Structure formats: structure tokens, C-alpha cells
Amino acid sequence: MLKQCEGSHAVAASVSLCRPEVICAYPISPQTHIVEGLSEMVRDGTLLNCEFINVESEFAAMSVAIGSSAAGARTYTATASQGLLFMAEAVWNASGLGLPIVMTVANRAIGAPINIWNDHTDSMSMRDSGWIQLFAENNQEAADLHIQAFRLAEAVSLPVMVCMDGFILTHAYEGVDIPTHEQVDAYLPPYEPRQVLDPGEPVSIGAMVGPEAFTEVRYLAHAKQMQALELIPQLASEFKQVFGRESGGLVHGYRLEDAEIAVVALGSVLGTIKDTVDELRKEGHRIGVLGITSYRPFPLTAIRDALQHVSRIIVVEKCFAVGLGGIVSRDVRMALRNLPMPVYDVIAGLGGRAITQASLRKLFLDGINDKLEQVTFLDLDWKAVNRQLERERATRRSGPIAENLLRDLGVVAARVG
Amino acid sequence: MSVTAIKFYQTGTHTVGNRLLDPSQRSVQADMRRTNSLNSGHRACQGCGEALGARYAIDAAMTATDNQLIAANATGCLEVFSTPYPETSWQIPWIHSLFGNAAAVATGIAAALRVKGRSEVRVIAQGGDGGTTDIGFGCLSGMFERNDDVLYICYDNEAYMNTGVQRSSATPGAARTATTPAVGKAPGNVFGQGKSVPLIAMAHEIPYVATAIVSELRDLEAKVKRAMEFRGARYIHVFVPCPLGWGTASNDTIRIARLAKETGVFPVIEAENGEVVAVSKIRKQLPVEEYLRPQKRFAHLFSPQPRLDVIGHIQALADRNIRRFGLVDEGAK
Ligand SMILES: Cc1ncc(C[n+]2csc(CCOP(=O)(O)OP(=O)(O)O)c2C)c(N)n1
Ligand code: SF4
């Protein structure tokens, strides 16, 4: 049923249709509305046979999820940013133990300086944790990906992170087609754990593993992700059969067929990128887009197939490996190894800075005219940055960068000593 | 006519008396069907108090729950010595996740059992003093505060043994550890730090809190059994000497534990809903020196010069325990 609702509520509704049995979460913006919605459903009986556990931290939230999943309950949690980092140790543990927990990450920047707005740094920091990571482009996809996520997680016994842009998606009202229980039940069978804590058949989970087997265990974790790589497109096509719409999959091409230049991105910025590309197309530029839905496992072959014919690639990413450059662009380069086209890193939208069509248009035109630097920080205020760098050179001292910048920009009534 | 004094046999393991008892009175250890949830062949040091305490605690819990038990374990000696892959000593469903989250993992298991309607299956969480009083403290307090249906058992060997005997917040004042060396003006761990988790647990007003000691295994068993009669959060703090970390002889574990109790260093108590309901009285009060002297971690208190001031401080703390919990009957001294 098409419903005009907030992204968070669409996700909460979709998660509830998956019949989770244990939900445990700790509040953090911009994830809060999702778990508030679910707690209400548990309270008012809309979501039957489900325990909602309020905990004292994200570390506890993921730990409770580990326990309940290991004991055979379908388990869900959600977090963002500092919360994801606070639960990091347990995040790795959940995937190491092969527990099919589903978690929404309402993507948000990581401080300091503290910043509640959207970028992808949080989930990217967990990209090697062994979790599957799916990125939603819009609220419909966010809702749909959760249904696929439970199916996928339970099929390969791995946890799945569904990443959706904080505020931009979580707090946006859009029409979302919320499926029926019958549809979801037809697609998602009840959870049958592979290995469960049960006095009837005792097992030890989480034993200590030494050098003689650890490499094998890690290889098998990789092999499971490779299975997921096969499964994700299958699940997306089955999803289409049951729900009648395209959602999920590994990657999505847009106007790529005859493109000379391709823009690669993840998440909600794809909408703005596509609109900009439409305009440039009207002007005769052969430009196309590749959206990546499955970031882990990383679909090397699908990306290579989709991009091998283009001559230049711009990766627009809302994350940044400090001391190196782009994160996603490294992975894209790996997909294209031995192919001649250059790949440009564009770091954009950090901490929620708007990525405007005007900026993108200029960026893409620079790309088309072969005028791009290897690494571009979209809309970077060079004046402010250079002033701070000069100040540091002059005083040979570093200081609180953000505060100095803000003072220069006249943004804050800071106490200036 | 002269009368031959009849020897008194304590009823317990390997003693004659136990066989003569009514089966319901016998200790778990002497029962043919003893569950042995933690199998022999694990890799604990000889004389490990933690291995002993855990085996008795879990066996008692198994009996009390008719084997319907799941355990979550924190990282630490107990976890490492019992599960070197691909071997495991656990005969019960058992999970180890992390150092700091045993209580929360147990909460998750309890939640899963609740939705599955399996109220007969009970949950135990266990950890060392480090996993309990320090890194896992937040999760533990959360579990208490929500009154989750979990029995948490802390095996207190008064330091981080698994990483090589470093100080924890349960390490007593003056004790030498790898991070509180026996050098300087005030050698060993400083006084006045650390926390009593049993008292903190009581402050959460959870249904049941107890302390126990491996020299009184029947008492430990009885407390585990009692704990299993309650629903909600329960906590048992077991004093488990560690021959390796304390520098004591492997065959002295029980003696050292007994001395800790008889000197008042470790009070053995029981509380319900935040109120002390029973204490295990000291039979023959001994000076703390008797407890300290056999342990290398306190050796610097006796040589080169005896540190009477420090020993006096430890005695004062023991005396406070005795006063606070009424551990010595008037006139018993
Ligand atoms: C987050 C984290 N920090 C540190 C460690 C290292 N570590 C493992 S066991 C342990 C000490 C365990 O001490 P305790 O809980 O007292 O148990 P014991 O080994 O003494 O029985 C430490 C510090 C860890 N595993 N995880
Ligand atoms: S170090 Fe101590 S606690 Fe650890 S196994 Fe040895 S005796 Fe037991």
C-alpha cells in the first residue's frame, strides 16, 4: 500500500513485517525514529511475539543481538555514527560468529568535531568487519532492502547492514509502497538457525582459535561473502516476482550504455547525480551513472562489466580515507585493473554538506573536459583551509582546527582569548 | 571404662559420611549422575580455583534446572582454558563473545528464550573479576537494572590472570601484580580503589546476591540452587584463588580460600532484594597475616622488613567486614 511517510517509519514498518523476535537498540540521531517506531509497535501489539530491549549502550545493543541471534531469534538493531563505533568490537564479533543480525545504519559523520549530519564514514569504518553492506538510494529501496536483508542474512548466516543516508532519507517524507504481511511471508520464510544454543543439543560457540585454523576461518568468511555475491541478484529478482518492483541487486546502471564518462556513487546522492546527468545528456554529453547497492561484498565483476567501455570514471563518495584519499574509488580501481581509463576521487558531502546540482554540473564538465585533479574535495573552502594552514606554519603549533575555522568564518561567537 | 572418641567425618567428596547420607542430602559431586558440565582435560593450571568454582557452580545450576541451561562466558582464563579450538570442555550450550559483554549476551539469550516460550531453559553469564568489575561493568549494571532473567557468576581471582596477572578493580590493596609492582614507598596496589560488586549489585535491589568461596563448595552449590529459584537478575561472586597469579602452591587453593574467610578478608553473605539475609559466620577468627603470608603477591609485606602498617591496614579492612556483616558471634573469639 502506498503510504506517505517518513523514511524511518517506512523502515520500521518494513522491519516489523519481517517478524523480528528480538529488537535491541540504543538511541542516536538520525536512527532514533526507526527504533521509536518499532518500540511503539511492540507496545501496541502491532508487532506480536517480539521483545524490545532497552539497553545502556550500543555495545550492549549489539551484544544482546549476538545473544538472541545465537539463541535462535530473528534479531534486529539500528545505529549510526558514534554508536556504530561504540559497538565496533561486537560488530566484528557478530560476523565472526556468523550470526544473521540485520542492522540499519542511518549514515552519519564521525566526530570530532561532532556532527550529526550525513556522510558514509561510519559504515565505511566497518567495511572490513565481515558484514554485508547494502546502500539504499531512496526510501522505497531502504524499506525493500530490509526484507531482502533478512533473507540474505539467514541464507548465508552473515549479518547484514542496510545503510541509508541519515536525515536525507530517514527524515524525508516520501511515498513508499509498504508491502503486506502475505507478500513478505511469501518471500521470507521463518528463521531456521544453522546452529543454536539449545540444551537439547549443546554446542560451544565462540571458542578460541589459534594460528592453525584462523586463516581458514577468515577465508571461509570471505567465501561466504562470495556466496552472498551470487545470492544478492537472485534475491532481487525473486523480490521483483513477489513485490513487482526492482529493488536491490549488486549495482544499477543509469544511461550507461553509450556513456564515455561514468559517475559512480552510493546512496541517496545518486538522485541528484542522475538529474545532473539528465541535463548534461540534453546538452549532448555522453555521461552515465553507476550506483553501487552492494558495497560488501564488493561486486568487482559487475562493476567491470558495467564500466569497461567508458573512458573516464568519477567516483563521488561521501567518505574519505584520511592520509590517502577516496575509499570507494580504490575499490572501483581494483575492479578495473588492467583497463586504461583513469579513475578520479571526489570527496563530497562530508558531515552533511549539500551536494548541489550546480557543483556536480561543474565537476562533471571538468571531467568531460579532462580537467579534474586526482582527488577533488567538492566545494572545499580553500580560503579558510589555507588561512589555518598558514597560521599553523607561523606558530608551529596545531590547535583545535574546527574552532579556528569557525572563528575565521565568523560563524560562532566563540570566546576568543 | 575408657571411651574411644569417634572421628567426625565431614560429609562431602571422597568422605565416608556422604555415602551414608540420604541421597537427597548428598553433594552433587558424590552423585553418580553428576552432570560434569565442565569436563576434565581442560587446560587450567593445577589447583585453579576458578576451574573448581565454575565446575561446582555450573553443575549445581544444571541440577537445579534439570539440565536446561545455557551459558554465556566473558573472555578470560575460564574461556581460554576450556575451549581451545577444536576442543571444548563444555557439555552445555555455551557461547563466548567478548571480554566486556557476557551480561548483555545473556540478556539476549534470555530474550530469545522468552519469545520462543521456553521458560524452562535458564541462562547463566560468567566472567572473571576483570570482565565483571571493569570492562563488563556497564553491561552488568544494565542487566541488573532491567532485572533480566540471568544469573551472573563472577569468579574473582582478584586480577586479570589471562593476560598475565595485571591489576583489576578487584585487586586488593598492597597486592603485587604485573602492573602494581612490589616496589616504592607504598608497594603493590593502592588502597582505597576498587569496588565491591556484591554491594553494588545489592544497590540495584535485584532479587538475589550472594558471595561464596571455593573452600565451601556445598555452600556455593546451595547458593546457586537458591539463585535458580528466583526469576530476574541474580549475582553470585565467588572467591577463587589463583595459584599462578597469587604465588601460592597448587595444593593450597582451598586452604587459602578458607583463610580468606576465616580472617574476614572475604565476607561470605547472602542478600535478597537488596537486604542481607544470611552470613556465613567465621568459625575461628584468624589474623590476616595468616592469609597473607603464604602468598607471594604479598611477600613484600614480610621481607626485607615486615610492613606492620600495611598489614594493619588490611586487618582493619577485614575487621570492618566482620563488623559490617556480623561475621563473628559475640564471645566466639
Ligand atoms: C576489549 C578487550 N580488552 C582487553 C582484552 C584482553 N584480555 C583478555 S582476558 C583479560 C583479563 C581477564 O581477566 P578476568 O576477567 O579477571 O578473568 P581471569 O582471566 O582472571 O579469570 C584481558 C585484559 C580483551 N580480550 N578484550
Ligand atoms: S592463571 Fe589462575 S585463574 Fe588462570 S587458569 Fe591458572 S590458576 Fe586458573
Kindly report the three-state secondary structure assignment for every residue of chain B: CCCCCCCCCCCCCCCHHHHHCCHHHCCHHHCCCCCCCECCCCCCCCCCHHHHHHHHHHHHHHHHCCCCEEEEECCCHHHHHHCECCCCCECCCEEECCCCCHHHHHHHHHHHHHHCCCCCCEEEEEEEHHHHHHCCHHHHHHHHHCCCCCEEEEEECCCECCCCCECCCCCCCCCCECCECCCCCCCCCCCCCCCCHHHHHHHCCCCEEEEEECCCHHHHHHHHHHHHHCCCCEEEEEECCCHHHHCCCHHHHHHHHHHHHHCCCCCCEEEECCEEEEECCCCCCCCHHHHHCCCHHHHHHCCCCCCHHHHHHHHHHHHHHHHHHCCCCCCCC
pLDDT (mean) for B195-206: 98
Mean pLDDT score of chain A, rounded to an integer? 95
Angle A82-A267-A138 (CA atoms, 0-180°, nearest 5)? 110
Q: Which residue of B has its CA nearest to A53?
A: B111
Model pLDDT for residues B142-179, shown as the tens digit of each residue: 999 999 999 999 999 999 999 999 999 999 999 999 99
- Rounded mean pLDDT, B101-115: 98
**Nearest CA among A406, A377, A385 for reference residue A393:** A385
B77 lines ligand 2 (CB under 6 A): yes
Q: Which helix (H) or strand (E) holds A332?
A: helix A328-335
- A59, A64, A66, best to mutate vs chain B, most B CBs in 10 Å: A64
> Is residue B259 over pLDDT 60?
yes
The residue contributing the CA closest to ligand 2 atom 2 is B242
Determine the residue of chain B that is closest to A66 in CA distance.
Answer: B105
Q: What radius of gyration do chain A's Cα atoms show?
A: 22
**From the CA of B42, which ligand is nearest?**
2
User: Does the pLDDT value for residue B14 go beyond 50?
Assistant: no
In the predicted model, is pLDDT for residue B40 greater than 80?
yes
Is B245's C-beta closer than 6 angstroms to any atom of ligand 2? yes
Ranges A151-165, A403-417, B108-122, B226-240: which has the least confidence = A403-417
Q: Mutate which of B46, B48, B78 to test ligand 2's pocket (most atoms within 8 Å of Cβ)? A: B48
Omega prior to B304 cis, within 30 of 0: yes
**Ligand 2 contact via B130 beta carbon (within 6 Å):** no
Could you tell me the distance, in angstroms and rounded to a whole number, from the CA of residue B179 to the centre of ligand 1? 14
What is the pTM (predicted TM-score) of this model? 0.94
Protein residues whose CB sits closer than 6 Å to any atom of ligand 1? A 89; B 50, 75-78, 99-100, 127-131, 155, 157, 160-163, 168
The parts of chain A modelled with pLDDT lower than 50 are 414, 416-417
Residue B26 has pLDDT above 90, yes or no: no
- Are the CB atoms for B174 and B301 separated by under 8 Å? yes
Confidence of residue B4 (pLDDT cuts 50, 70, 90): low
The answer to whether B327 touches B264, Cβ cutoff 8 Å, is yes
Residue matched to cell numbers 541440577: B63
A71 to chain B: closest CA residue: B109
A-contacting residues of B 9-28, CB under 8 Å?
Answer: none
pLDDT of residue B27: 64
Residue B101 with chain A: CB contacts under 8 Å: 59-60, 63, 66, 90
B33 pLDDT above the threshold of 70? no
| pLDDT value for B77 | 97
- The string of DSSP letters for A255-297 reads S-TT-SEEEEE-TTHHHHHHHHHHHHHHTT--EEEEEESEEES
Chain B residue with Cα closest to A198: B93
Q: Ligand 2 atom closest to Cα of B77?
A: 4
Preceding peptide of A236 cis, ω within 30°: no
Whole-angstrom distance, CA of residue B272 vs CA of residue B245: 33
Q: Tell me if residue A151 falls in helix, strand or coil.
A: helix
Q: Find the ligand nearest to B46 CA.
A: 2
Q: Testing the interface with B: which of A21, A58, A68, A75 to mutate, by most B Cβ within 10 A?
A: A68
Determine which of B98, B135, B148, B163 to mutate to test the interface with A (most A C-beta atoms within 10 Å).
B98
Q: How many Å lie between the centroid of ligand 1 and the Cα of residue B100? A: 8
Retrieve residue B242's grid coordinates: 589463583
Give Rg (Cα) of chain B.
Answer: 20
Q: Is the CB of B160 under 6 A from ligand 2?
A: no
Q: Please give the pLDDT value at position B86.
A: 84
Q: How confident is the model at residue B6 (pLDDT cuts 50, 70, 90)?
A: low
pLDDT of residue A417: 44
pLDDT of residue A416: 47
Of A49, A56, A63, the CB nearest to B108: A63
pLDDT of residue B24: 73
Q: Which residues of A touch B105 (CB under 8 A)?
A: 63-64, 66-67, 70
